[in-house]
Amino acid sequence: MRISLNWLRELVDFDMDPEALAEALTMAGFEVEAIEDRRAWAEGVVVGKVLQCEPHPNADKLRVCRVNTGTSEPLNIVCGAANVQSGLYVPVATVGTYLPHVKLKIRSSKLRGVVSEGMICSLAELGLA
- Cβ(112)–Cβ(56) under 8 Å? yes
**What are the structural domains, with CATH classification, of the chain?**
5-36 (no CATH), 40-120 (2.40.50.140)
Sequence length of the chain is 129
* Angstrom distance (rounded) from CA 64 to CA 2: 37
* Angstrom distance (rounded) from CA 37 to CA 123: 17
CB atoms near residue 99 (< 10 Å)? 20
Confidence of residue 129 (pLDDT cuts 50, 70, 90): confident
Mean pLDDT of the chain: 92
pLDDT of 59 above 90:
yes
